[in-house]
A and B are shown apart, each in its own frame.
Chain A
Amino acid sequence: MELTLNILGAIATIVLAFIVGMSYGGIVRKITARIHNRMGPPWYQNFIDAFKLIGKTTAINHGIMQHFGPAFVMVSSIVSLMFIPILNNGGWFTNLNFDGDLIFLIYIMVFGPLGMALGAGQTGNPNSAIGVTRGLSQMVGFEIPWVMALVALMIQFDTTSVTGLMEAQHETGRWMMFTSPFAFIAAVLAMLGMFRYSPFDIVGAPTELASGPVSENGGKYLFTMMSSGSIFAFVKLTLYVDLFMGGADNLIILVLKTFALYMVPVLYGIVSPRYRTEQSIKFFWGWPTFFGFIAILYAVFV
């Protein structure tokens, strides 16, 4: 009985993440269009696109890894979703929490892009290869301030579990974006790269790289990439809300907080052109890493 409930909870979590992530994608397209002074597609456009992509034939074969690449991305998204507390009180959502799951999350969150890199490598498309190198270089860029911010939190509150950090916020009654502001700044700057909106959309770069790593993936593969990307966006936003904004007591507060946070990379992206790879890395190794250092010093000495 308990097993059935757990499985149902896991499915509910995935469905929630899928719906929220895809709707956010659609709303972002609408907001982008309004800023361009256009009508824009309806907010549910992403669902139509996804449904159409399932219905397309996919007669592309470049070898085994090409089929596994999108699956790796999906697995990475769902596994990291399972380790994120969706709500403060847990509810019926799955949370496979254990001590040290924050360190585990740092690893599992880069598993998807690495799997995708293997898959894209086998397609033999030069655009994919360039996209992968750019993506991995950029990841080296933004992972440093991101990990520094997390390490600062771990030192400051003496715990390596996400639930532990959430409990620490409840005890002090203050969000971590106020108790450890420098870590928050570093993490938000790293988030700009994590979401790959402009100016950090050097991986996809439709006009330059023909959409990069996914350029050989159409139909069902593209659907897998799209839906796992949406789930992963939800995962990252929820993790940020859990760590820095005190989590959420119910779904409405969760949606409000994640959406407010999501607007940071989106709105910054809409008004920005694209960086080159080295400019992007230079950006992340500049101020974000500096704030990461300050955050660690703050955590150790204050």
Chain B
Amino acid sequence: MINDKNSQKIVDIIQNWARKHSLFVLAYGTGCGAIEIPPTMTSRYDAERFGIRGAATPRQADVLLITGYLTTKTLKRVIRVYEQMQDPKYVIGFGSCTINGGMYYDSYNTIKVLDKYLPVDVYINGCMPRPESVISGFVKLQQLIADGKGNGAKEYKENLESYRANQKKIIPNWVMPDYNW
């Protein structure tokens, strides 16, 4: 019965509702944007009322938050963290630096477009984005999940070769364990 298409749809709706209201966030403080996370989580803006909660390890997290610029050195660690996370997982690109490099557009040492290396579900614009816009980004992600469109992880698995090729261009000495989800 559970393989029936319509029942699967109902299960998906219920599960997506739960996923939407319970986002465990791994805030990977790569850049200066990380300073906007504490005000978002604490009394004034209180992200916990949306069910958003900090997770300490990638194993427990649902959302990977890339806060700001990503140096080529950090990229390797971020990829490893992302691949340790369990499905369903989402990525939020935080700040202008993840969209087009921002003020580091001509830096030799940072990556410019995050989407080439990791599947980003939601971008939050700004340098830096205020807590209001961070929360609005999370609400956008919640809408995507409720509509069943937060499929970044699926995309990543399907296009793994092209993502890997891009990643290996940046990281010359690729010594990483293989994950087979």
Contact = CB atoms under 8 A, between A and B. Distances in A.
Contact of A215 (B18, B21, B51, B59): B59
Interface in B42-61: 42-43, 46, 48-49, 51, 53-57, 59-61
Interface string A201-231: 0000011011100111111001000000000
A57 B87 contact: yes
A37 interface: yes
B19 interface: yes
B42 A48 contact: no
Contacts of A38: 42-43, 46, 48-49
Tell me the interface secondary structure of chain B in the complex.
Answer: loop
A173 interface: no
Contacts of A55: 15, 18-19, 88
A57 B84 CA distance: 12
Contact of A59 (B51, B56, B62, B86): B86
Contact of B46 (A39, A214, A217): A39
A206 B56 contact: yes
Contact of B181 (A41, A59, A214): A59
Nearest to B85: A218
Interface string B151-173: 00000000000000000000000
Interface in A46-79: 48-49, 51-52, 55-60
Contacts of B54: 206
A34 to B, nearest CB: 10
Interface in B94-109: none
B71 interface: no
Contacts of A218: 57, 59-61, 85-86
Contacts of B30: none
A37 B56 contact: no
B51 A60 contact: no
Interface string B31-43: 0000000000011
B22 interface: yes
Interface of B: 15, 18-19, 21-22, 42-43, 46, 48-49, 51, 53-57, 59-62, 85-88, 180-181
Interface of A: 29, 33, 36-41, 45, 48-49, 51-52, 55-60, 127, 206-207, 209-211, 214-219, 222
